[in-house]
Structure 1
Amino acid sequence: MQQPHHSRVDVELGERSYPVHVGPGVRHLLPGIVASLGAHRAAVVTARPPDLVPDPGVPALIVRARDGERHKTLATVEDLCRKFTTFGITRHDVVVSCGGGSTTDTVGLAAALHHRGVPVVHLPTTLLAQVDASVGGKTAVNLPEGKNLVGAYWQPKAVLCDTTYLQTLPAEEWVNGYGEIARCHFIGAGDLRGLAVHDQVTASLRLKASVVAADERDTGLRHILNYGHTLGHALETATGFGLRHGLGVAIGTVFAGRLAEALGRIGADRAREHTEVVRHYGLPDSLPGNTDITELVALMRHDKKATSGLTFVLDGPSGVELVSGIPEDVVLRTLAAMPRGTA
């Protein structure tokens, strides 16, 4: 029987389907999940104190992770895989991640590569990781040239979004997570403003699960999940990952509205709605003051979606879609017209 205030969202991918549990205390489902996998050992990679991770019920290696985009590197993945090897982790075992989105991304990639694929279970501990990063099977690390440029698709066996983890988050981590929730407003989740956090997380996950089930490997529909991300990722890279992901996505969401208006895809009211939603969540709607817009355009050309010139996910008369071949001068003009701040 489902416990009060617990939700379950299923990511339907045939034999690779898996549940996402949301609610207080759901991390304690971990030993049962590990047992159902028949794992002999577990490697637990955690950015939170080890006592916040339940005993997986099998002999376990505890590895301290360093959360943050600067640690999302191939060197970190190699270090993890070597530790897995020393402990004897094989395909018959399980890897568990516990931390924010950078931890689930990096540990997920290590699990995907070790022995060509070891089962992984995610325990996301930040709002951003719970509403987005831990679900969908995208794993990746960064290069100096850009974010998430080296990765693999590797679906978890389960995701446990324990909302009690959120109680200790600093204010900046809440705002960071709201960046992903704000962009959901424009891609089909509806207006989530005013809902309880549990309901915002669950609604965001239901949307993502339905999109991933329809387009696991980003060949079409899944592009909508990258709303606001093209500029957001460029800003993260340009600032040496000093600008947090959710804040970059929020600025990118405002820009997406302005660019869609500049291209005649939406009207002024819909473009203003982007700013209103972003501001509601306490997110920035302006470019960092020292931003070089020509550098941003160069970085956006490296975006994984940019196979046919500058490419953005944009709102329009038929809804949100991937738009390629956007003229550089329009992008530059729209960037130049963005307000400047200190974010």
Structure 2
Amino acid sequence: MASVSLRLADHAYDVLIGPGVRTSLAGVVRRLGAERAVVVSARPEEWVPDTGVETLLVPARDGERDKTLGTVGELCAAFVRFGLSRSDVVVSCGGGTTTDVVGLAAALYHRGVRVVHLPTSLLAQVDAAVGGKTAVNLPQGKNLVGAYWQPSAVLCDTDYLTTLPPRELLNGYGEIARCHFIGAPDLRGLPLADQIAASVRLKARVVEADERDSGLRHILNYGHTLGHALEKATDYALRHGEAVAVGTVFAGRLAGALGRIGEARVAEHLDVVRSYGLPTAVPAETATETLIELMRHDKKAFGSLAFALDGPDGAELVTDVPRDVVAAVLEGMPRAPLADLVATATATATVLAGAVPS
């Protein structure tokens, strides 16, 4: 088991990583002094460990379509009916969309109730459940309504990963791949648990330095600006990690076009993403202008096109990127039919899933 501490000025918690760590939940709840818990789970009941206190189990569904303010409202209403107080605790059990929605509901209910995350997908374990960002989608774009609400603990049980559909495993590798360009460059070839721990350590150090996206934390969005646009443009047929992978290749090309990095470093973006078996092409059906318009609505755009990009001093947020440069780089990206990208991702994911220890 690995343990990563995240220490902020007014809050601290640990992220536990390894097989069986979900059984730590009752001890966490006991330390918090909660008398009641609501567990919101997108997984079967038998996946949810005992909380040690009176518990309401609320079924949920992973997926972008339920990542809405309506779902948050339904959860808060269930908290009221159960009589959940500010001294109690909410627990999420599911993928990244579930930890996002439950985290936001916890942040809003009674202006804040404690939350513990049990992320069950690779993407949620390496990224979504750690760091305190919670958000839901609007029709206009991803993650446009949210709050910062740090959990009280995160339990990344790697046993959960053996139960994932193969493509969900590949989805998580998109977040691991982008770590190569923001401070964790040597993760390829490591055992999966070590990759998770390294990704969490990187994120913890960044969040400790910049909890609320005033500067350094923008690097965690590497590949995400185009990635979010691709998700929306394909009606989420491309999964988050797959879209971030394509966005990472694009980020390398855009940094090259702006003269921030040389050709070798641009090529390294493609090589790293390919090494994880992730897609590298933009769906042929997505128009350049549509993607640019979606990227303009990104939450860090500040009224202009903005991207986390590599450079001589490492990754940083670059604002006011010229629209014509973005368009030219997008037009130069490799293209493939969406159906082909999905089929290739599914086939690659099946091979990857077979390599995860059971």
Is this a same-fold pair by TM over 0.5?
A: yes
1:308 Cα deviation after fit: 4.6
Task: State whether residues 308 and 324 of structure 1, in contact with CA within 8 Å, keep that contact through their aligned partners in structure 2.
Answer: no
Q: Could you say what secondary structure the match of 1:334 adopts?
A: helix
How do 1:1-343 and structure 2 match up within 5 A?
6-341=1-336, 342=338, 343=341
Q: Which has the higher mean CA deviation after the structures are superposed, 304-313 or 174-183?
A: 304-313
Cα-to-partner distance string for 1:232-283 (whole Å, 9 max, x where unaligned): 0011111122211000100000000000000111111100111111111110
TM-score normalised by L of structure 1 = 0.98
Alpha-carbon RMSD: 0.7
Following superposition, the deviation at residue 15 of structure 1 comes to: 3.3
* Matches of 2:246 and 2:200, distance apart in 1: 22
In structure 1, runs of 5+ residues without a counterpart are 1-5
Q: Residue 39 of structure 1 aligns to a residue in which SS?
A: coil
Measured in 1, the distance between the counterparts of 2:50 and 2:229 equals 39
Structure-1 separation of matches of 2:130 and 2:227: 19
Distance in structure 2 (CA, Å) of the matches to 1:224 and 1:253: 12
Separation in structure 2 between the aligned mates of residue 315 and residue 128 of structure 1, nearest angstrom: 22
Aligned counterparts of 2:9 and 2:331: Cα–Cα separation in 1: 46
Letter in 2 for 1:267: G
Q: What is the alpha-carbon distance in structure 1 between the residues aligned to residue 208 and residue 291 of structure 2?
A: 32
Letter in 2 for 1:217: R
1:132 offset after TM fit, Å?
Answer: 0.2
Paired with 1:54 and 1:99, the residues of 2 have a C-alpha distance of 13
Give, in angstroms, the shift of residue 304 of structure 1: 1.1
In structure 1, distance between residues paired with 2:288 and 2:105 = 34
Say whether the 8 Å CA contact 1:230–1:252 is kept in structure 2. yes
CA distance in structure 1 between the aligned counterparts of 2:255 and 2:182, rounded to whole angstroms: 14
Displacement after TM superposition at 1:219 (Å) = 0.3
Q: Give the equivalent residue in structure 2 for 1:3.
A: none
CA apart distance, 1:170: 1.9
CA distance in 2, matches of 1:144, 1:329: 26
SS in 1 for 2:107: helix
Take 1:125 and 1:87, find their aligned partners in 2: how far apart are those partners? 25
Number of positions where the alignment pairs a residue of Structure 1 with one of Structure 2: 338
**Per-residue CA shift, 1:33-89, capped at 9, x if unaligned?**
001111010000001111111110110000001100111000000000000100001
Kindly provide the CA deviation profile for residues 194-234 of structure 1, in whole angstroms up to 9, marking residues without a partner as x.
00000000000000000000000000000000000000001
- 8 Å CA contact 2:178–2:245 kept in 1: the answer is yes
Any idea what SS the aligned residue of 2:181 has? coil
Match in the other structure for 2:354: none
Contact 2:296/2:303 (8 A) holds in 1: no
Q: In the alignment, which residue of structure 1 is the partner of 2:355?
A: none
Q: Distance in 2 between matches of 1:230 and 1:204?
A: 20
Report if aligned partners of 1:42, 1:95 keep a CA contact under 8 Å in 2: yes
Q: Is the 8 A contact 2:37 2:91 kept in 1?
A: yes
* Distance in 2 separating the partners of 1:15 and 1:309: 33
Shift in Å at residue 340 of structure 1? 0.5
Stretches of 4+ aligned residues off by more than 3 angstroms: none
Q: TM-score, normalised by structure 2?
A: 0.94
